[in-house]
Structures are given as C-alpha cells and as structure tokens.
Amino acid sequence: MKITVKKTFSLTFGALLTFMLAFLLVACGSSATESGTGGGNGALAELAVIKVAASPTPHAEILNNIKENLAIQGYDLQVVEYTDYVIPNTATQDGEVVANYFQHQPYLTDFNAENGTDLVSVGSIHFEPLGIYPGKTTTLANLPDGATIAVPNDTTNEARALQLLAAQGLITLPANAGLNVTPKDIVGNPKNLNFTEVEAAAVPVQLADVDLGVINGNYALGAGINPAAVLATEDAASQAAQTYANILVVRAGNEDDAGVKALLAALQSEETRAFIKMVYDGVIIPVF
C-alpha cells in the first residue's frame, strides 16, 4: 500500500507541476503581446494609417524618408503618388487621403476658388528654386556679349527667372520689381542678352542650343541634370521662396488632428532638413 500511495502522489505532483509551468508560459506570452499592442512600438502594434497624396519627385521621396520616424510614433504613413495637380486636392477634400504635399499657396488659393473646396495649408516644407544651368557657356563669368538665355514663358516663372538673373548682376530690373516683370521691363542689359521664351518643362531640352537656361528645380531633377551643374539658384530668403514654398495641405478642420501634427513635425524635422540638403544638393531647399 505504501508503494502504491507513493507512486500515485508522485504522478499527481508531476502533473500539477507540468500544469503550473504551462500556465506560467501562457501568462508570460500573453503579457508580451499586450505590451506590443499597447505600447505602439512592438512588432504586433496596430499602427494608425496616415494616407498622403504626393507628386513622385521630390515630395513622395521626402515623405518616404520619414516613414520610420512616424512608425515609431505609432503611425503607418502610406504615400499615394499622383502625376496630376487635381486629384490630390479632390482626394483630400473627399477624405480619401488625410493630406497632400505637391503644391504652393497661390495654386491652392486658385484651386479652392475655382472648385469650391475648403483646403488649408498647415506648414511650408520646401522650395523648388529656379536655377541657372550651363548650355554652350559653362560659367557666368564667361558669358559672351549677345548670349542667349532660355527662360520659362509663363508669367510667374519668367519673372522669377529675370529676378534671378538680376541677382547675378546680368541685367537690371525696375526698383521693387515683382513677380510679373517680363523682358520688356528690363532697364539695364550690359551684355545685350537675348531671351528665348519656352514652356518651363521644355527649358532643359533647349540647353544644347542656348548659352544658359533658367530651369525649375523639379524639371531639372526630372531631366536628370546633375544638381552640381547649377551655376546659381534662388535662395530661401527670396520673394519667390516665401511665395512659392511647397506646403502640406489638409481639409479645413483637420489642422489639429494628432496624425497631421505628427506628420508636419516629421516633415519639418532636422532629419528632413538634412535629407533634403544631402539628396538634392541645392536643387530643392528646406524653408522651415
């Protein structure tokens, strides 16, 4: 009888010990899972989605650079790329995306007026300066008398191009010249420069046939021009930079959304500033 009791007790104790160990393992596993979902940083965390509409270059590239930053804060940044300038705004207005990043304030103002949308800027991120690029002439110092310069033919970009040329001392514009001046307004042209006026996107194509070309930063990038080739650019303190900075846009009423604030903070971070300077080498400049 003693042997039987001993065996029974031994088996019962072993089963109990196994059960207790299994319980502890389950409890520990459950605790780790809850920590992951609750903390926002665990592998099993469910991130809050932020969808942003953007142009491919440089906007989507800049956004993709901050994905990890936002993930650490509990947000899944999803970048939806568009190549037109209408759908990103309508998608933001309709709530298909939380925000968009592709435009400047003058364009947004006109879009709201023409389409009855209620979209607002929450902050400026970068500026795409016009740059003077070499064609047949490789430096500003060697620009010959009677040289030809290709400039954009739309009112705003042409005025910006002329202001940039004036800042280099190549021409003189009237005092307080704004963003509406044309070659007809030039009051000083010591090198007798000639101007070829073409669509902004076509200026890179003209470089082989002109001495210099004044090109928008995004078109220079799209044409594969080496950023290091630029001879001079508009700076962050210029009138154009203050007016045409690219902005983060949301539907009115969403300015204080936690996700929007986190997105803006990441876009205006020192990490983003360093990324823009390193990758775009002056063709794109931060303005925050």
* The two three-digit tokens of residue 5, written as one number: 């009791």
Q: Please say whether the beta carbons of 149 and 211 come within 8 A.
A: yes
Q: Which residue has the higher pLDDT, 27 or 272?
A: 272
Mean of per-residue pLDDT scores for the chain:
86
Q: Under CATH, which number does the domain 131-234 receive?
A: 3.40.190.10
Give residue 156's pLDDT: 84
CATH 3.40.190.10 intervals, the chain: 48-128+242-286, 131-234
Q: Which residue has the higher pLDDT, 48 or 5?
A: 48
Question: Which backbone phi and psi does 7 adopt, to 5 degrees?
Answer: -65, -45
Q: Find out if CATH 3.40.190.10 is the number for domain 48-128+242-286.
A: yes
Percentage of the chain beyond pLDDT 70 is: 84
Q: List alpha helices for 116-248, DSSP H.
A: 155-167, 203-206, 217-222, 239-244
Strand pairing class (48-54; 99-104): parallel
Residue 157: CB atoms within 10 A of its CB come to: 22
Distance CA 227, CA 220 (A): 8
pLDDT tens digits for 87-129?
A: 999 999 999 999 999 999 999 999 999 999 999 999 999 998 9
Give residue 21's pLDDT: 37
For the cut 80, the answer to whether the pLDDT of residue 31 exceeds it is no
Band (pLDDT 50/70/90 cuts) for residue 41 is: very low
Sign of CA dihedral 213, 217, 222, 228: positive
Distance CA 42, CA 45 (A): 5
For the cut 50, the answer to whether the pLDDT of residue 22 exceeds it is no
Sheet containing strand 130-134, strands side by side: 194-198, 148-152, 212-216, 130-134, 232-233
Give residue 240's pLDDT: 85
- Torsion of the alpha carbons at 134, 136, 139 and 142, rounded to the nearest 10: -160
Segment 20-37 shows an average pLDDT of 34
pLDDT tens digits for 136-173?
A: 999 999 999 999 999 999 888 899 999 999 999 999 99
Give residue 79's pLDDT: 98
Nearest to 165 by CA among 137, 189, 197, 200: 189
pLDDT tens digits for 220-277?
A: 988 999 888 999 999 888 888 889 999 999 999 999 999 999 999 999 999 999 999 9
This prediction has a pTM of 0.71
Q: Please say whether the beta carbons of 167 and 135 come within 8 A.
A: no
Give residue 45's pLDDT: 63
Nearest to 97 by CA among 143, 49, 131: 49
For the cut 90, the answer to whether the pLDDT of residue 17 exceeds it is no
Sign of CA dihedral 205, 208, 210, 211: positive
The residue length of the chain stands at: 288
